[in-house]
A and B are shown apart, each in its own frame.
Chain A
């Protein structure tokens, strides 16, 4: 018994060592990570020190981060909850404190900019947020005022404690919109009764007492922040777009607005344009500047000055953009002009953009500028003064929706060789000559390669740069380097080199609807030289169901010459068939809401093939709002007929997800060899769908989730499982003959994994081909569940070329780690009692809890923020699977689920093996010589 136990322990040890992990010297060798923040909403330059390199950004992805202004890299980043609770409403910045208002005024947070840690956090009363400002007194800033719909509160900047909170008078009728302080111990709250009057309430900074409350007639005004600004010694300046006039009001004294028509200043507004104002308050403890900007047209700005109630035009800027300005160092106006014009020249095309400008005084007293430009396609560009682009960040990549990995093309010489076989033979001699010439070219290329290796070896390591560009892209010998085609929610497409992470091409689709669903398909791979590879992106508006197709070359990103069909009807389903047209493009079928099918490409050849194979083309449609799952068959005239329908009553449960198998998946072994040498055959139905449902009742005692395994062709329900006292979100992986899903158990308050495996039994019904229509026996179903000690964000299975390598599950955790969990641990045949047979089969004894070992994190400390998806792709090596995890960040690596069995390991000791060989060789030589001498001596004796 002892020996058995030892044996078992040994086996367990072996099992643990089989599991791959990263070695420390492999860091950064095959993997890379790119960190993003999202589309910038607020930004501030850290100006407390001249040498400071920080730019603070608060983004629409609820991220607050500090960027290095020299390189664009992150100093630190804080990722808050997704959704309205983490939404950043305002960013105020003073010295080394940054104050954020979060979650519609629910939270006030102060961050230490240098450390990146929290100073304090204050929970505010509920009520929708309106405005916030820093309040200064006698030259120092000590407070922050937060204006909500019904209250105003003032907090100490040092610890967040509330100094005072006051209810706003008449808050049912007055809509309070802004708060302003000029640094004189008073806080002005400006509210409005639309189309009637402005209400100004002045609070004392000391105790929150109302000093003054006035109403000023302004029937034309409806929104203060949009049309007004505080300028100079506390003058409210509003622009009225109906009468085209400026209206001024001294907040301290006057009770009436003075109207100054723009015409009297000699100004004219562009037709159909609402003029607006921009002012600047460099320090909250001081008054705003008396200079301000007036925008008169989309491209037209004026710099004006308020001088003793008189408005003076300082400068007229004609071709400028939507700009923010810090004119603290305003000395020489000609230089501002320069700064404004440069971004456009650098970006080169007409795009909507937002500027964040920092001006500073250089050593020689001239004004310097740094400009951060946020363009419509979510690109962040940082420009130093003479128009030099310091860095760019592609923030669109913070929201990748879908992606594909496309094989790179062969090099020119390889393509030449390939072409030789593709063409029709034109005689023996020319073919021989061609053969010889291509061999010569290959020899030449090889020598050039060797020369380059030799040349590079002499240079120091740091100088050798392998710049990857589209021109020198080529497939490597094991097909480990691929092109990652990434689709982002903003409608920008990227082509990224999987080896280095370099962006090789980008393409912005500017007509993408706001809430679009994307589906990316590879219609033609690079394998069909000279036909270019072709990807098709289906963009569907979720509201209307109307879709468009974008056809492009995935290697160069260029739009293809092939014109996609116009799709006038809403699209319900799209399917990529394994059929190819004469140009080797796979056929894409689109089903519209009239259940009519259109094909792309729709050449005669394709239509003919479709007619021939129509009887064997089935597809399914899911209508989760009706709870209906239905199967259809294609008719020869490209109309459809319904074959089956499964209705899941929507009052009880709703369909959450439907998962089929990946079409490019290969299964190597048909069965599993049991301990008694018999074979248990897998049920490998390629048409199997895993349907996940959740109960509509969310009460913890009655909620449940269901799993339905349905044959997509016949509609036959293969298996049904219900998990009681469980709720979603459910993550599912469906592959080979198994389905793994994860859910939340409300009873035990933990995450649980469950695995379903399907087997045909000890005999295979029809071993040559699988047909859904001819499988009389129901498969055997095995199921087991486990506890998982963490919630999960996403899940995917590894994928290899031939399916020989064992499978791992890649699990994205909320902590940012990506766990590689061997499928072996999720095996319903794990025995509770160990027997001789189970040991023979290498089954791990059942234990209820799955463990998370940090050695299994494929991304070690390179955490991936908010991981949303994991994409796996096979490489040319059977042992190696390429993995891309995306979310806020992008992480690419390779995994070896069964270790690297087909290549020498990267730490292979060439020195040792060669020295041993040499030693043996010399030893034999020497011993031979010695033996000869001995024989000779004996002979002499």
Chain B
């Protein structure tokens, strides 16, 4: 556990070092601040390419857009899938390629006041974490959007494999078939059966198998009684029905 935890931490330190070396001094500058502090500051360009594996670009570029920080800056895709969003002041931005058909992961792009670019994974929780992405951006679609839920389909196998149905059908089969297979009129056979029944339940004072099972399960929980009572009762209910 501690071994595993240390490795990413170390990695993070290395990354942080890199960050310092590449002098991202204004890492925390938001886009709003970028505008307000340097109204005549330089404007930069975010470049990249979006790829949908196995699909010709002509088939999807006409519905695609590049959104930088919501709709604050908008770019369009060229017929080869590449794009450029112009006139962006320094700051940190989330760049997203949106199409109604394909799903693209967003990327965070940091631009220094000198125009150095860096792309990294978007992490909204640990906002300063840096996992580098290639720049110019290479955004690969991770497949089509799944908009629809699957309908529950009905089949005979589903119906038969239902535990309730199994529970009903099996005893029925036993009741109907057993008397036919075993000749109950034979006195020898009857004797044998009685013996086997006694074998199964040698001592009538002993608890039922199902009760035993419930106890076994609830016992494993030990002290947490509140939790066991609910799951215990749930466990015993079907067993009781079975009797």
Report whether chain A binds chain B.
yes
Q: Which residues of A contact B (CB under 8 A)?
A: 1, 3-4, 7, 21-25, 76, 78-82, 85-86, 106-107, 109, 112, 115-121, 123, 698-700, 703, 727, 744, 746, 748-750, 787, 789-793, 814-816, 836, 848-849, 854-855, 857, 860-863, 866, 907, 909, 912
Q: A117-B62, A700-B32 are in contact. Are A854 and B145 (CB under 8 A)?
A: yes
Q: Are B65 and A861 in contact (CB under 8 A)?
A: no
For A789, the closest partner residue in chain B by CB is: B124
* Cα–Cα distance between A568 and B44 once the two chains are bound (Å): 53
Can you offer 5 A-B residue contacts whose CB atoms are under 8 A? A118-B79, A814-B98, A815-B67, A848-B125, A912-B154
Q: Are B92 and A749 in contact (CB under 8 A)?
A: yes
B146 to chain A: which residues have CB within 8 Å?
854-855
For A856, the closest partner residue in chain B by CB is: B147
Q: Are B78 and A698 in contact (CB under 8 A)?
A: no
A119 to chain B: which residues have CB within 8 Å?
78-79
B195 to chain A: which residues have CB within 8 Å?
none
Q: A81-B73, A117-B62 are in contact. Are A4 and B227 (CB under 8 A)?
A: yes
- Whether B86 is near chain A, meaning CB under 8 Å from some CB there, is yes
* Cα–Cα distance between A13 and B39 once the two chains are bound (Å): 50
Q: Are A115 and B30 in contact (CB under 8 A)?
A: no
- Whether B61 is near chain A, meaning CB under 8 Å from some CB there, is yes
Q: A748-B124, A836-B227 are in contact. Are A120 and B78 (CB under 8 A)?
A: yes
Q: Are A907 and B151 in contact (CB under 8 A)?
A: yes
Q: Are A117 and B79 in contact (CB under 8 A)?
A: yes
- Whether B194 is near chain A, meaning CB under 8 Å from some CB there, is no
Q: Tally A-B pairs: CB < 8 A.
A: 135
Q: How far is the CB of A659 from chain B (nearest CB, A)?
A: 22
* Cα–Cα distance between A15 and B127 once the two chains are bound (Å): 29
Q: How far is the CB of A106 from chain B (nearest CB, A)?
A: 7
Identify 11 new A-B residue pairs, CB closer than 8 A, beyond the known A815-B96, A854-B145.
A25-B151, A76-B62, A115-B58, A698-B36, A699-B33, A749-B127, A789-B124, A816-B100, A861-B100, A861-B145, A907-B151
* Cα–Cα distance between A4 and B227 once the two chains are bound (Å): 8
Q: Are B33 and A121 in contact (CB under 8 A)?
A: no
Q: Mark B166-188, 1 if CB is under 8 A from A, else 0.
A: 00000000000000000000000
Q: Are B154 and A23 in contact (CB under 8 A)?
A: no
Q: Which of B183-203 contact A (CB under 8 A)?
A: none
- Whether B52 is near chain A, meaning CB under 8 Å from some CB there, is no
Q: Are A815 and B76 in contact (CB under 8 A)?
A: no
- Whether B69 is near chain A, meaning CB under 8 Å from some CB there, is yes
Contact residues of B: prevailing secondary structure: mixed
Q: Are A700 and B125 in contact (CB under 8 A)?
A: no
* Cα–Cα distance between A443 and B227 once the two chains are bound (Å): 61
Q: Are B154 and A22 in contact (CB under 8 A)?
A: no
Partner of A909, one of B147, B148, B154, B227: B154
Q: Are A699 and B36 in contact (CB under 8 A)?
A: yes
- Whether B38 is near chain A, meaning CB under 8 Å from some CB there, is no
Q: Which of B98, B103, B106 has the most chain A CB within a 10 Å cutoff? A: B98
Q: How far is the CB of A808 from chain B (nearest CB, A)?
A: 16
Q: Are B148 and A123 in contact (CB under 8 A)?
A: no
B10 to chain A: which residues have CB within 8 Å?
none
Q: Which of B33-64 contact A (CB under 8 A)?
A: 33, 36, 45, 57-58, 61-63
A744 to chain B: which residues have CB within 8 Å?
32
- Whether B226 is near chain A, meaning CB under 8 Å from some CB there, is yes
Q: Mark B77-102, 1 if CB is under 8 A from A, else 0.
A: 11100011011000010001010110
* Cα–Cα distance between A1 and B222 once the two chains are bound (Å): 10
B63 to chain A: which residues have CB within 8 Å?
76
Q: How far is the CB of A910 from chain B (nearest CB, A)?
A: 12
Q: A700-B32, A849-B125, A861-B145 are in contact. Are A80 and B74 (CB under 8 A)?
A: yes
- Whether B115 is near chain A, meaning CB under 8 Å from some CB there, is no
* Cα–Cα distance between A744 and B92 once the two chains are bound (Å): 14
- Whether B161 is near chain A, meaning CB under 8 Å from some CB there, is no
Q: How far is the CB of A212 from chain B (nearest CB, A)?
A: 36
Q: Are B32 and A21 in contact (CB under 8 A)?
A: no
Q: A750-B124, A849-B125 are in contact. Are A814 and B70 (CB under 8 A)?
A: yes
Partner of B127, one of A7, A109, A116, A748: A748
